[in-house]
Chains A and B, each alone.
Chain A
Amino acid sequence: MTLLDALDGQEYIIKQINTDDEELNAFLFSLGCYVGEPVTVVSHLKGGCVVSIKDGRYNIDNQLASAVEI
């Protein structure tokens, strides 16, 4: 499943990230978003969702949410 299907407030472990964009992957990495790390969806919105990675809050769009497998 991907972050799109994640339940609000539950912690998941990232299994894979498929963005086809090396730079973006590296960027996500520097935020602490990489395979093996925990991620929590705080809430789902219209065009995306709010996620908690390490101690930061981010908004990502549905495209990116669907690229993160958990």
Chain B
Amino acid sequence: MRIALTGNPNSGKTTMYNALTGRNEKVGNWAGVTVEKKEHHIKKAYCSGTEDLIAVDLPGAYSMSPFTSEESITSSYVKHEHPDAIINIVDATNLSRSLFFTTQLLELGIPVVVALNKSDINAKKQTVIDVASLSAKLGCPVVETVSTAAEGLKAVVDAAVAQSGKIQRAPYVQGDIDLTDKKVVEEADRKRFAFVNSLVSQVEKRKVLTKNKGTGDAIDAVLTNKFLGIPIFAVVMFLVFQISQVWVGPLIADTLVAWIETFQGYVGEVLLADANPLLTALLADGIIGGVGAVVGFLPLVMIMYFLIALLEDCGYMSRVSVVLDPIFKKVGLSGKSVIPFVIGTGCAIPGVMASRTIRNERERRATAMLTPFMPCGAKIPVIALFAGAFFDDAGWVSFLMYFTGIVLIFLGALLVNKIAGYKNRKSFFIIELPEYKVPSLWFAFKAMCARGWAYIVKAATIILLCNTAVQIMQTFNWSFQVAETADSSILASIAHPFAYLLVPIVGVLSWQLAAAAVTGFIAKENVVGTLAVCFVGLENLIDTDALEMMEGAGAEVAGVIAITKVAALAYLMFNLYTPPCFAAIGAMNSEMKSAKWLWGGIGLQLGTGYTVGFLVYQIGTLITTGSIGAGFVPGLIAVIVFAAILVWLCLKADKDLKQEYALNGARA
């Protein structure tokens, strides 16, 4: 039988779902973490009978009438898919709001079990709820639970199983009303709330009133302070990057890299000592070398995931939205846009999906379009490789990449505003401020492992495949004989045309760099893997020393790629700010729901990446050598064309807007 988990946002549905099924879905302490339906078998430990139970996790909703698109998933699921039972997770700290939705669910006829969640917080606040009386008044079983500690789950599931097949009797019936008449509906809803209010007053006794200031408000006063709010956020994010990429991450990465190197040496020299040299090259250099180069950066990525999970769990994300809303509003985004951007530093795909909770369509699309500018976890290896090879592991490289990402988001937002025709329209902002809680190290650890595992799986599948293909393509020529030099290989001939496009950014005609940029669209880690495979002699250096370039090894890597430092920086930025991997583009597509916006977004990202790369290389070269770099004129033409398109789009939007206002004027 199928059991649907429903309830208000941030009431703990996904936490309960994870505990029931053993899954590891994303949880967080803000409203709107879950934006899609998920289902999985419930663990045997929670099932008494032999019947197979399936839990269905749904996005949070405040009522059956949907406000945002993810809420409509919930109401249409319980209305049309006929689950066998509903577990309604009720935030026990906010009974007076939650029961509104509960009474609506009870009217559906499907058996409902109320899980009175967060009952531990109530105990702390000395709020007492008369469970037996509540159960009698609602006409359904009520079970106290703490989903973060997996308490009361068996009782809830047992109750749901026991109820199945029965027909739910509703304590409050709306009756036959004309649902198209706004006034009538509102009147009915008022009555419903009145019923809930009287019910709550009978079963709940509170010592601490919510309207009075508490410790949470004292913390809010600091974190959302007029002057301190933004600096605090900047320091928090800086610490996340500093800890994961400078202080702790590299220490662990060094050990891991040493293991991979030993393994690679063992395979190359011992296992395949007498094997065909081609096979040795494919296995040791292509597969282990390329994939190893990517896996070596895993610790940096995992520590960052861990820290971001802590941030998400403590309740800070909503406060950041509050702090940044006034600024984001100025560039036409919403304060809620910050959540996708922060999640995007881990991976752009969930980041883009998180934009779904933004109700204003233009703000939502702009957020989905701009989220990939934030360097994601897959780009960390690329940044670390270049920082190690060319800049002596300088911390400023990584910092500059994130900072540029933020600047591009703001500039991009302004552009989108101009082009999409920002009318000074009212866009109200409201966000729930959840109670703070001490972040759970265990949850953060689980989140880190899940994401780390996904990273390894990706390295072992897509990246392994790509590297093998790259290795084979650069070993053979078109007549499938071993190419005498890599320059006559299949890969070289395919990548060659793209290399011309990159000349204004890197200053040399390098098919290897072009191939890496192209494979980067499949997955950004491929940039590292492909470079490791392509540059003869480079792969060993990347593996052993990319993080801690000792005794001039860094200079050696740079020598193999044979581009200047300025060009390296430009090439790095080009790779970071061009369109993200295909998977992220797919996510953009599903959130934007408009081909026009999608192509606009990809065009903007392509143009931005190219322009940034061009400017950094040409201006940097001018400063360092006194003359402009190679390929200046064709590059300039490309950038001018891009700029011209933007200007044309802006002017067109202006004209359209004026026409619209003129029409409005005529009507008035």
Contact = CB atoms under 8 A, between A and B. Distances in A.
Interface in A32-67: 32, 34, 36-38, 40, 42-43, 45-48, 50, 52-61, 63-64, 67
Interface in B325-340: 325-326, 329, 335
B326 A57 contact: no
B429 A48 contact: yes
A45 B95 CA distance: 27
Interface stretch (B62-70, B415-423, B552-560): B62-70
B664 to A, nearest CB: 16
Contacts of A20: 426
A47 B428 CA distance: 12
B318 A59 contact: yes
B226 A67 contact: no
B428 A64 contact: yes
Contacts of A43: 213, 217, 220-221
B322 A48 contact: yes
B224 interface: yes
B210 interface: yes
B406 interface: no
Chain B: number of interface residues, binned into ranges = 35 or more
Interface in B230-260: none
A55 B63 CA distance: 16
Given A21-B426, A23-B67, A55 B326 contact: no
Most buried by A among B62, B322, B430: B430
A60 B216 contact: no
B100 interface: yes
B429 A55 contact: no
B186 interface: yes
Contact of A42 (B213, B318, B335): B213
Chain A: number of interface residues, binned into ranges = 35 or more
B124 interface: no
B339 to A, nearest CB: 14
Contacts of A37: 193
Contact of B433 (A59, A61, A67): A59
B202 to A, nearest CB: 16
A58 B93 contact: no
B325 A50 contact: no
A69 interface: no
Interface in B61-89: 62-63, 65, 67
Given A11-B211, A55-B210, A30 B221 contact: no
A32 B211 contact: no
A47 B430 contact: no
A63 B190 CA distance: 25
A26 interface: yes
Contacts of B97: 31-32, 53-56
Nearest to B185: A26
Interface string B192-225: 0100000000000000001111001100110010
A36 B194 CA distance: 11
B94 A54 contact: yes
B361 interface: no
B596 interface: no
Contacts, number: 116
B182 interface: yes
B193 to A, nearest CB: 7
Contacts of A27: 62, 67, 430
A42 B430 CA distance: 15
A57 B318 CA distance: 11
B52 interface: no
Nearest to A10: B211
A41 to B, nearest CB: 9
Given A26-B65, A34-B190, A47 B210 contact: no
B95 to A, nearest CB: 7
B118 to A, nearest CB: 11
B96 A55 contact: yes
B647 interface: no
B211 A56 contact: no
A55 B431 CA distance: 14
B432 A56 contact: yes
Nearest to B434: A57
Given A59-B322, A59-B433, A32 B96 contact: yes
B189 interface: yes
A19 B100 CA distance: 23
A24 interface: yes
Interface string B298-321: 000000000000000000001001
A57 B428 contact: no
Given A21-B426, A32-B193, A42-B211, A58 B226 contact: no
Contact of A47 (B62, B95, B325, B432): B325
Interface of A: 9, 11, 19-24, 26-32, 34, 36-38, 40, 42-43, 45-48, 50, 52-61, 63-64, 67
Q: Which A-B residue pairs are the 10 nearest by beta carbons?
A: A47-B326, A40-B211, A30-B62, A30-B63, A61-B429, A55-B94, A64-B428, A57-B433, A27-B67, A54-B96
